[in-house]
A and B are shown apart, each in its own frame.
Chain A
Amino acid sequence: MIRILVFFRENKITASAGVTDLKPTNIKDIEYFHKVIDCQWACPAHTPVPEYIRLINEKRYDEAYMINWVSNVFPGILGRVCDRPCEPACRRGRVEDDAVAICRLKRVAADNRKENIETFFPPIPDRKNGKRIALIGGGPASLTVARDLLPLGYEVDLYDDQSTGGGFMRSQVPSFRLPERVLNEEVGYILDMGVTTHFNHYVSSMRDMLAKDYDAVFVGTGAPKGRDLPDLPGRKDGDASIHVGIDWLASVVFRHVESIGKKVLVLGGGNTAMDCCRTARRLGGEDVRIVVRSPKAEMKASPWEIEDAEREDIPIYENHVPVDFVVEQGKLVGMHFERVEARYDDQGKRTLVPTGEPLVFMECDEVLIAVGQLNAFPWIEEDVGIEFDEWGLPVLKEGTFQSSLEHVFFGGDAAFGPKNIITAVAHGHEAAISIDLFCRGESLAVRPLPKVHLEGQKMGVHDWLYHNQIDDEHRQAVPMMDKAKSLKDRLLEVELGFDQVVGHTETLRCLNCDVQTVFRFEECIECDACVDSCPERCINFVDNGTEEELRIRLLAPAKQLDQDLYVSDVLPTGRVMVKDENVCLHCGICAERCPTSAWEMQKYTYKIPLAGHK
C-alpha cells in the first residue's frame, strides 16, 4: 500500500520543559525520517548512503556512482579521503562494534563505474542565460558551484593561483592517499562542462575583480595560510630547515621539494601533521616523529589517519610543548620540549601543566610545523563593502552564504575556517542556489525544499523490496599496499580498496536505515505482536509521560538522547506507542508480525535541493 504524505518543514516538536506528555511525532516533518538515516543526516551533503549501498550490492555501480556524484560531486576522491562524518554516526556502530565502511563502499562504486560515465551528466545548454559568474579559488567549493550552475546556462570563469584545478585536494592531500589520476578525472568532469579557467592567476585585488562586472562572485579561496611558530627561539636561525607544513606539502606535490633529512620532527596533531610525517617517510625520513602538546587521545586527526601513521613506524610523543629550536653553527640540530600534563577544571576546560621534569631534547635535521591553518584575505580591500568579523572571517547571511556585498558569496574553508572537502561541497551547493536565486532576482530566503517521498516496501505477505535479513558479518578490512614498497614511492596509493566481492560482503552490513517503520495508530489493535517480535525491544505501548521520564521507563532504556522517540496518538487503551529509533535494525519484523499493517516499511527518499530546483 502506498500512502501519500504531504511533507513540510517544521522545527522538531520537543516536550515543553518536563511538565507535559510527549506530543505525537509529526512524521510529515521533512527532517523526521531524514534524521533516522544516521549516515545521510550526518553527511554535510546529505548523500543518500543506504540507497547507493543497495545499488552496489546489486552491482549497479554506475547508478551508485551517479547518486554520489549528484550529491557530493567527487565520489572517487571522497571514496578515498573523505573525513567521513557518516561513519561515527552509522547505526551499525551502535548495534555492533563497527560502522559500515561507507567511505570505502563509495570507492567501490567509483572504481567500478563505466568509462564514459559523463554520458549520464546533465547536458550543458548551448544557449547561455546571459549571467556571468566568477569563482575565485579552484577547490571543491568553487568546483561545486560551477557544476551546479553550468547546466542552468551560466557562464563561469574560474581563477586560481595553481596551474590546474582541485585546490587543496591537489596541493595538500598526498598522492599516496589520493592518486593524481583520480583527482584529474573528477576535477576534469567539471572543467569539461565548460568552465573558462584562469590558472596561474593569483587574484590580488577584489576591487579589480568587481570591476569586471560579473553578476555574482564566489570566493572559494580556502584557508591558505599555515600557522607558524615565529616567536619560538631559534626559529629564524634554523629557517632553512624549518617548514610550514602546508607550504612544504604543496612544494612536494609540485616537485619543488624531493627529499628531506633523516631525522624529522613534525609538530602538531591534526590531519596535516599526519600527511606531513607520512610524506617525510617517503622522501627519505627515517626517524620521523610526531610531537604534540596535548594528550594523544585529544589529537585532532581522524583515528584512521593516526593508525595509518603508526603503521608506518611513526611514533607519537604526547604532552610535549615545544620550547626552542637548537641551532649550532647555523645548522638546526634539534629541539627542546617541556613535558606537561593535562588537567581539567569543573567545566572540563583543559590546561597543560608542566610536570617539572627536565626539558626533553630531540635531535633532528628538519622540522615541519603543522599547528593549524588560517584564513587570509589580504587581497580583499577594506573599502569594497565586504565585512569581516573579529576573527577575520567574512560576515555571511545565515544559510545563504551571501556576504555584506550582495553579489559576493563565500563558501568552503573561506567561509567559516578550515573544515573538509565534503563541507566545502555542501557550501558550494547552497551558494549555487543563492547565486541562482540572486541572478533571477528572487528572494534568497525562499529556498527550494529537499525532494522527499515515502514508498511502501511490501511485495507479499512476508516479502520485501529490500534485503531485510540482518547480516552478522563484521566490518571488512581494506587491503593495503606492501609497506616497504609504498614507503619508497610517494605516488603509490596505500589503500587498495575493496574488490567487488569484499565490497558486496560489506554492503550487506548496511541496515537500510532509510526504510522507515511507519506507524498508523488507527489500525493498531494493541496485540503486542510487534513489541514481542522486535529483536531490539524498540517498540513500547505505555502510558505517556515526559520525554525524560519515558526514556527510562521503556523496555530498553533509551539513553542515546540524540535519537528520537517516535510517539503515536493515543490508542484505545489510553496508551501510546513509543518507539526508540536508536538501534532499530530496520528488519521489518514488526511489520511482518503486525496483523493489521499498522506498521509499514516505507523507504524514505530525501534528495537535497540543487540550484534550479523549485
Chain B
Amino acid sequence: MTFFRPSFRHPDLPPNDAGYYLKDYEGGISTLCAGCGHDSTNAAIIQACFELSIPPHKIAKISGIGCSSKSPAYLLGKAHGFNSVHGRMPSIVTGANMANRDLLYLGISGDGDTASIGMGQFAHAVRRNLNMVYVMMNNGCYGLTKGQYSATADKGSVGKKGEPNMLESIDLCEIAIQLGAGFVGRSFSGDKRQLVPMLKAAMSHTGMAFIDVISPCVTFNNTPGSTKSYHWVREHSEATNTFDYVPFKQEITTDYEDGTTESVVLHDNSVIQLHKKDSSIHVTDRRQAVDALEEHKEKGLILTGVLYIDPDSEDTHRIINTSRQPLNTLGKKDLCPGNEALQSINESMR
C-alpha cells in the first residue's frame, strides 16, 4: 500500500504566474476507493486553483461528512481547512466568511451531506448568496455508509444492491437557481475539459457559486442501471454550451458565428464566453435555465454546463453591508471607538 505520494514531479512542469507549482496545490494521497469520481473532481479543483494562480494560503477548504467531504485531506495541503460535521459545512463557511471575507471559500459536500441532513443549511446559504464555491460531489448515494440511495438518486435508478430507488429525486441545481444563487453549473468528474474552466469561472464569481459535479461511486453506484455511473453519464449528458473562461487581462481571441456566442463578464472582470447550441437561451435568464433543466430531464438527459449566471448578484457582505476590512483584522480601536463616537451616534439619533 502506498501511503505517501513520491516527492518527485515532472521536471518540465512550469510554475504558474504566482510562482507556485502544481505540487503546491496537492494534498495527501487519496484513501478513497480506486476510481472514485471524487478523486477526479479534487484533481480538477487542484488544477483550477493552480491555473488561477491563487496563493494556496488564500484558500479555505471546508467540508461536511462523507467520502466527498474527506476531500480536504486530498487537496490543497497548504490551504486552511475544516472538516466539519454532517451537513454543517455551510454554517462553518458562513462563520469563517463573516470573520475573514478575503479568502476563497471552497465548500465541499456530497449529495447526502447536502440534499439530506444538510438541506436546510444549503438552502439558507444559497438564499444569503454567501460568497463561496459550493462543490457538491453527486454520486446518488451515501458512499461512506455503504451506498444507500441519497436524495439526488433518480427514481428508478438501480445501484449495487439491485433494488431500484422508488423516491423522487431532488435537483439541487434547480433549487439553487430558485433560491438565488448567482452562479449554477453542472458537470461530470470524468470531463475535466468542462469541469476545470467551470470551477475557474465559479472561483471568479462573487456570491454563491454552486456546482453539481456528477461524480460516480465506483463501488456502490457504478452499475449498468444506475443513472450516476460513468457509462450512463457519458451516454446521456448533453452540454448547454461549450465555454471558454478568459481571465481578466487576457485578450479574447475566439471568434464564433453571430448569435451563438454570449459573453458574461464576471466580478473580477474575467469573461465567460459561451458558445451555445441554442442561441435563443440566455444563460442569465433564470426561468429559461430552469426550463432547460426540466426539458432535458423529460428526455432522460442530463444537462451539463454553466446553467445560470447572474453577473450582478450581490453577496452576503454586500447585502448586509459589512465592513470592507475583514472583521478579524479590526482592532479594539475600530470596534470600540470610544465614548466620543458613541455620543455622536446617540446625538445623530435624537
Contacts and interface: CB of A to CB of B under 8 A. Distances in A.
Given A525-B35, A532-B42, A556 B234 contact: no
Contacts of A463: 1
Most chain B CB within 10 A, of A525, A529, A535, A573, is at: A529
Contacts of A556: 10, 12-13
A12 B216 CA distance: 38
Given A470-B6, A526-B190, A587-B2, A595 B35 contact: yes
Given A463-B1, A572-B234, A595-B218, A529 B6 contact: no
B249 interface: no
A463 B39 CA distance: 21
Contacts of A589: 2, 5-6, 29
A508 interface: no
A528 B10 contact: no
A528 B216 contact: no
Interface of A is mostly: loop
A585 B1 contact: no
Contacts of B43: 528, 531-532
Nearest to A573: B234
Contacts of A585: 6, 8
A96 interface: yes
A596 B33 CA distance: 11
B180 interface: no
A559 B43 CA distance: 24
B165 interface: no
A592 interface: yes
Interface of B is mostly: loop
Interface string B201-240: 0000000000000001010001000000011001000000
A162 interface: no
A504 interface: no
A472 B7 contact: yes
Interface in B274-322: none
B40 A95 contact: no
B2 A596 contact: no
Nearest to A582: B10
B2 A592 contact: yes
Interface in A458-511: 461-463, 468-470, 472
Interface residues of A, number: 37
B13 A596 contact: no
B86 interface: no
Contact of B40 (A461, A470, A528, A572): A528
A59 interface: no
A555 to B, nearest CB: 8
A527 B216 contact: yes
Contacts of B234: 526, 572-573
A535 B33 CA distance: 18
B35 A535 contact: no
A397 interface: no
B230 A470 contact: no
A296 interface: no
A583 B6 contact: no
Interface string B39-55: 11011000000000000
A596 B216 CA distance: 14
B349 interface: no
A532 to B, nearest CB: 4
Nearest to A527: B35
Interface string B254-288: 00000000000000000000000000000000000
Contacts of A96: 8
B35 A536 contact: no
A462 B1 contact: yes
Interface string B5-45: 11111111100000000000000011001111101101100
B66 to A, nearest CB: 18
A594 B33 CA distance: 9
Most chain A CB within 10 A, of B8, B34, B39, is at: B34
A472 B12 CA distance: 19
Contacts of A535: 5-6, 8-9
A537 B10 contact: yes
Contacts of B218: 527, 595
A290 to B, nearest CB: 34
Most chain B CB within 10 A, of A469, A583, A592, A593, is at: A593
Given A94-B11, A527-B37, A557-B12, A587 B6 contact: yes
A556 B43 CA distance: 15
Contacts of B160: none
Nearest to A589: B2
A532 B10 contact: no
Contacts of B39: 528-529, 532-533, 593
A588 interface: yes
Contacts of A588: 2
B35 A468 contact: no
Contacts of B6: 469-470, 535, 585, 587, 589
A598 to B, nearest CB: 10
B34 A529 contact: yes
Contacts of A536: 8-10
Given A463-B1, A526-B190, A559 B8 contact: no
Contact of B230 (A472, A525, A533): A525
A594 B190 contact: no
Contact of B34 (A557, A572, A583, A592): A592
Given A528-B43, A556-B13, A468 B2 contact: yes
A27 to B, nearest CB: 23
A535 B30 CA distance: 12
A528 B39 CA distance: 9
Contacts of B40: 527-529, 531-532
B159 to A, nearest CB: 16
7 contacts: A463-B1, A469-B2, A533-B29, A535-B9, A572-B234, A589-B6, A595-B34
Interface of B: 1-2, 4-13, 29-30, 33-37, 39-40, 42-43, 189-190, 192, 216, 218, 222, 230-231, 234
Lowest 8 CB-CB distances: which A-B pairs, in order?
A: A595-B35, A470-B6, A532-B43, A462-B1, A556-B10, A528-B40, A527-B35, A595-B34
Given A536-B8, A592-B2, A593-B34, 7 more contacts: A462-B1, A469-B2, A533-B29, A535-B8, A536-B10, A572-B234, A594-B35
